[in-house]
Amino acid sequence: MRSKKAIFNIFTSLILQLIMVVYGFVVPHIIIKQFGSDVNGLISSITQFLAYISLLESGFGPVVRSVLYKPIAEKDNKEIAGILKSSESFFRKIAMAFIGYIFILIFIYPMIINSKFDKLFTISLLVIISISTFAEYYFGMTYRLFLQADQKTYIISIIQIFIYVINILIVLILARLKASIQMIKIVTGFVFVLRPILQNQYVKNHYKINLKQVSYKVSIKQKWDGLAQHIAAVIHGNTDITVLSIFSTMQEVSVYSVYLLVVNGVKNIVTSFSNGIDASWGDMLAKGEMENLNKKFNMYEVLYHTMTTIIFTCTIVLIIPFMEVYTKKFVDANYIRPLFGFLIVVSEYLWAIRLPYSSITIAAGHFKETRIGAWVECGLNIVLSVILVRKYGLIGVTIGTIVAMGIRTIEFIYHTNRYILYRSVLESFKKVSLLIIETALIMLLTSFIPLTVNNSYLYWVLKAVLVFILTSLIVLVINFLTYKKEFLLFFRTSLKAIRRK
């Protein structure tokens, strides 16, 4: 049952990420084409500044998930309801604080950014974009965490697929009608409000949980232990655009955000292969199944690195040829930045490499044990980005992210092997070393393939297929020969699941 849920979570999450990639490319393309790079940069900047409200979460969400694993495994409904009641109370306080944060931004934000827009235009977009974030905190976070902990991430994914498809259609229609950017954002914002409402309705219909009737609250002991991890995640996701908003121009923010669309799309597809898997690790840890955990994690580690190597290596090779096609009609900013394109993919590649280790660390509830590394990552990212942005611009902020990300990735790999799986750290470092060698080899081989002859989507797709086939063959052959036992275990496990089905 656990394996079946994990497979379904991964499958629906993958579909969701593909839909989000389409949404991510369609909407900014329309905005840049219809309103210009400055408007797109402003929207990206506002989104990042609003994201800082999540600092108030203090890492509470992952902690809630980790403490839910045991009562869910034991079917202790009273404990579950108490945890969810505490969670709801916490997130609704954040929603109220978010309103205050919006008022602060209304006065401060237009003064600190480097923008040509008047205050009224900027403030109107800020308020409109904040609607869906408020709804998520007030209505959606608690039941979302519960579904994730109960290995039902697929429910969240199905709802989000529906919402994103509707929003893509709305944006296309409104753009055709020449609607203002405020109109487009306010309509799509209210559609996103449906997400937490539908999610909550599912929980109320399928579980005997009604938090309005629950007075019992559970004191969550690790409440603040996830603070450092959470701040590190927020800093990673938002520092670069924030620094560029203050020290550079909205056009540079737009360039960064367009490249970020590509790497985030790729990262989200990779993440879909791990969505819900932390709940499986948490279930095994709660039941003390250490031998099974080690065996399954080792298999997952090999398969995940194989898939990650293929996807991110292809992205490194293909990102600039794609940008030449995607941005060829954008004339108000230079979007072709080869070195920046390489560096931003590398930064997210490092994030993807550490994902299996960070997932199991969170599932084990090891927030306090890894907080020093999180603070180091935060400090390095901010300090290096601010220092380097003045001289090197986009490249400077990306170097800051790479250095911080690399150090934290090493820490996660070490901690997972040493204190959770109780095995040699060399096992994982060997896998990562092979991944780096494969990436370098493929980059060398594909350098002989002409990738910039014709700027059309069809030609780019043909090149992408060629690069993908070459990359997949090299990585799969090398990894299968190196990790034959893990691949055979995966095939046997998959066949068993199909037969049981």
Question: Could you tell me the two tokens for 470?
Answer: 């070459």
Q: What's the pLDDT tens digit per position in 453-473?
A: 567 788 888 888 999 999 999
Asked whether residue 3 carries a pLDDT value surpassing 80, the answer given is: no
Q: What is the rounded distance in angstroms from the CA atom of residue 482 to the CA atom of residue 302?
A: 10
Tokens of 435: 């991944």
Give me the mean pLDDT over the 11-25 stretch. 82
End-to-end CA distance of the chain: 10
| pLDDT band at residue 34 under the 50/70/90 scheme | confident
Q: Using CA atoms, how far apart are residues 339 and 261, in angstroms rounded to an integer?
A: 17
User: CB neighbours of 40 closer than 8 A, spacing ≥ 6?
Assistant: 28, 31, 32, 254, 257, 258
Q: What is the mean pLDDT of residues 385-390?
A: 88
Distance CA 404, CA 161 (A): 33
pLDDT higher than 90, residue 438: yes
Query: Is 452:323 a contact under the CB 8 Å cutoff?
Result: no
> How many CA atoms, within 13 angstroms, populate the side-chain half-sphere of residue 160?
19
Residue at token pair 């008047």 = 118
Specify the higher pLDDT residue, 116 or 441: 441
The mean-pLDDT minimum among 2-6, 46-50, 164-168 falls in 2-6
Greater pLDDT, 287 or 479: 479
Calculate the alpha carbon distances from 70 to 45, 203, 285 in Å. 40, 19, 9
pLDDT (0 to 100) of residue 470: 93
Please spell the DSSP secondary structure of 363-409, one letter per residue. Answer: HTT-SGGGHHHHHHHHHHHHHHHHHHHHHHTHHHHHHHHHHHHHHHH
Of 27-36, 71-80, 230-239, minimum mean pLDDT range: 230-239
pLDDT score, position 309: 94
Is residue 11's pLDDT more than 70?
Answer: yes
> Which pLDDT score is estimated for 442?
92
Longest CA–CA span in the chain (Å) reads 67
Rg value, the chain, Cα = 23
pLDDT confidence band for 451 (50 / 70 / 90) = low
pLDDT at 59: 61
Q: Is the pLDDT of residue 446 over 90?
A: no
Average pLDDT of the residues of the chain: 82
Residue 175 clears pLDDT 60, i.e. is over it: yes
Ramachandran assignment for 361, one of left (phi > 0), alpha (psi -120 to 50 degrees), beta (any other): alpha
DSSP code of residue 212: G
Q: What's the whole-number mean pLDDT along residues 354-370?
A: 81
pLDDT in tens, 49-80: 887 776 666 567 777 777 777 787 777 777 77
pLDDT number for residue 210: 66
- Residue 289 in 3-state DSSP? coil
pLDDT of 500: 62
pLDDT tens digits along 374-384? 788 888 888 89
- Report the percentage of the chain scoring pLDDT > 70: 87
Out of 87-91, 289-293, 350-354, give the one with best mean pLDDT.
Answer: 350-354
* pLDDT at residue 90, as a whole number: 81
Q: What is the pLDDT of residue 501?
A: 54
pLDDT at 226: 57
pLDDT at 314: 94
Is 349's pLDDT higher than 90? Answer: yes
Residue 38 to residue 31: CA distance in whole angstroms: 10
DSSP label of 139: I
pLDDT band at 222 (very low <50, low <70, confident <90, very high): low
Average the pLDDT over 258-278 and give the result.
78
H or E segment to which residue 316 belongs = helix 290-326
Residue 27 has pLDDT above 70, yes or no: yes
Rounded distance between C-alpha atoms, residue 42 and residue 46, angstroms: 6
Identify the pLDDT of residue 220: 59
What is the number of other CB atoms lying within 10 angstroms of the CB of residue 422? 9
pLDDT value of residue 316 = 94
pLDDT at residue 64, as a whole number: 76
- Which of helix, strand or coil describes residue 225? coil
pLDDT bin (cut points 50, 70, 90) of residue 239 is: confident
pLDDT per position as a tens digit, 120-146:
888 888 888 888 888 888 877 888 888
pLDDT at residue 154, rounded to an integer: 84
Whole-number pLDDT of residue 2: 54
Location of structure tokens 């959770």: 420
DSSP 8-state assignment for residue 26: H
Residue 313: the pLDDT is 95
pLDDT at residue 19 greater than cutoff 90: no
List the one residue out of 116, 33, 42 whose CA is nearest residue 330: 33
Average of per-residue pLDDT across 28-40: 84
